[in-house]
């Protein structure tokens, strides 16, 4: 969790510095998705942190070259990272972006951290202990003296008002009942409307959100379902998948997604059913 929060601090340093899109350098990746200096700053922070914490375990990050499948299909344990999930939300400055870090073991997420630094929200999950949500108040002004000596623990933002983690419990939604649906703020699609009609779903409310926060809303019971028909990659959902999976009560939820596939593009999916 400390690594995710350190990455979140790097992101917020840039987020607080810019006032609008004109202050931000935005590149376009091969898939035409945006890339900012905040994505790269968080990426380098996480890679360095994981290398120090767990040097023997490989890492797949959205912002680094993907190892060949012939190599990674031999892996039984690796980290999967999206340094800044919701780059479009970051650019729009609506706060709905996250740092996502998941540990994948035998192609299943066994640990996950989803940290929304602008919202001071931390979700974390582990197979053995369940899923949790914690609200944080951070003092990012500490150690502002450039001449002061710092150690590694001082690099972590200080909690000035940290709430007790709340364990999350969620149950599978009943498709025959009115449903609270959460959907992407930036990736709406006609395919989603078709899915609702084809399955004759009764939607009582619709909430738009960004990044992996959508999965977390289902995990904490604030939404019933999150259908996603538009493309996503494994790193977009791995950490959130862990949060949802281990919020199951009394046993973990199953997930329709597979990880470390030959091609990391996810099929359409629905969380909540």
The tens digit of pLDDT for each residue in 155-166 reads 444 554 568 999
Domain tally for the chain? 2
Examine the pLDDT at 98 and tell me if it is beyond 90: yes
Query: Quick one: 155 and 215 in the same domain?
Result: no
- At 240-264, the pLDDT tens digits run 999 999 999 889 999 999 999 999 9
**CATH label of the domain that carries residue 48:** 3.30.540.10
Query: Quick one: 194 and 66 in the same domain?
Result: no
pLDDT value for 70: 98
Mean pLDDT of 128-133: 97
Query: Quick one: 158 and 245 in the same domain?
Result: no
- At 226-237, the pLDDT tens digits run 999 989 999 999
Query: Quick one: 262 and 133 in the same domain?
Result: no
Q: Is 52 a domain residue? A: yes
Q: Is 58 a domain residue? A: yes
Q: Is 173 a domain residue? A: no
Query: Quick one: 71 and 200 in the same domain?
Result: no
Query: Quick one: 78 and 164 in the same domain?
Result: yes
Mean pLDDT of 41-67: 98
Query: Quick one: 208 and 156 in the same domain?
Result: no
Q: Is 137 a domain residue? A: yes
pLDDT value for 138: 53
- Given pLDDT bands bounded at 50, 70 and 90, which one contains residue 49? very high
pLDDT value for 140: 46
Mean pLDDT of 213-223: 98
Among 136, 168, 200, residue at a domain's last position: 168
Query: Quick one: 194 and 138 in the same domain?
Result: no
Q: CA angle, corner 29, sides to 35 and 61, nearest 5?
A: 70
Range of the structural domain that residue 34 is part of:
2-168
Among 168, 202, 220, residue at a domain's last position: 168
- Please give the full DSSP string across 71-110, using - where no structure is assigned: HHTT-SEEEEEEEEE-HHHHHHT-S--EEEEEEEETTEEE
**CATH label of the domain that carries residue 207:** 3.40.190.80
Query: Quick one: 153 and 42 in the same domain?
Result: yes
Q: Is 258 a domain residue? A: yes
Q: Is 174 a domain residue? A: no
Among 168, 193, 228, residue at a domain's last position: 168
Q: Identify which has the larger pLDDT, 78 or 190.
A: 78
- CA torsion 220-223-224-226 (nearest 10°) is -100
- Given pLDDT bands bounded at 50, 70 and 90, which one contains residue 69? very high
pLDDT value for 30: 67
Mean pLDDT of 99-116: 99
Peptide bond into 269 cis (omega under 30): no
Query: Quick one: 191 and 68 in the same domain?
Result: no
pLDDT value for 147: 39
Query: Quick one: 221 and 265 in the same domain?
Result: yes
Give the CA diameter of the chain: 63
Examine the pLDDT at 42 and tell me if it is beyond 80: yes
pLDDT value for 58: 99
pTM value is 0.88
Query: Quick one: 125 and 72 in the same domain?
Result: yes
Mean pLDDT of 122-142: 84
Is 253 buried (19+), middle (13-18) or exposed (0-12) by CB count in 10 A? buried
Q: Is 123 a domain residue? A: yes
Q: Is 149 a domain residue? A: yes
- Tokens 């995990």 sit on residue: 219
pLDDT value for 179: 98
């Amino acid at each position: 969790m400390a690594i995710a929060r350190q990455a979140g601090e790097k992101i917020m340093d840039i987020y607080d510095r810019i006032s609008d899109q004109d202050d931000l350098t935005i590149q376009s990746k091969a898939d035409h998705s945006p890339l900012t200096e905040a994505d790269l700053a968080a990426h380098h922070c996480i890679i360095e942190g994981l290398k120090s914490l767990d040097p023997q375990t490989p890492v797949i990050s959205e912002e680094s070259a993907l190892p060949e499948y012939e190599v990674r299909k031999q892996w039984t344990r690796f980290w999967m990272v999206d340094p800044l999930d919701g780059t479009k939300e970051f650019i729009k400055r609506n706060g709905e972006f996250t740092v996502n870090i998941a540990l994948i073991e035998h192609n299943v997420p066994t640990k996950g951290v989803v940290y929304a630094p602008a919202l001071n929200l931390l979700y974390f999950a582990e197979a053995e202990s369940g899923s949790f949500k914690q609200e944080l108040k951070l003092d990012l002004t500490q150690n502002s003296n450039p001449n002061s000596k710092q150690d590694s623990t001082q690099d972590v933002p200080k909690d000035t008002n940290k709430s007790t983690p709340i364990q999350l419990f969620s149950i599978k939604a009943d498709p025959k009942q009115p449903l609270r649906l959460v959907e992407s703020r930036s990736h709406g699609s006609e395919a989603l409307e078709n899915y609702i009609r084809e399955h004759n779903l009764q939607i009582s409310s619709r909430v738009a959100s960004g990044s992996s926060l959508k999965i977390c809303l289902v995990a904490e019971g604030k939404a019933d379902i999150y259908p996603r028909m538009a493309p996503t990659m494994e790193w977009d959902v791995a950490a959130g998948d862990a949060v949802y999976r281990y919020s199951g009560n009394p046993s973990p939820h199953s997930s329709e997604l597979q990880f470390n596939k030959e091609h990391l593009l996810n099929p359409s999916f629905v969380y909540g059913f």
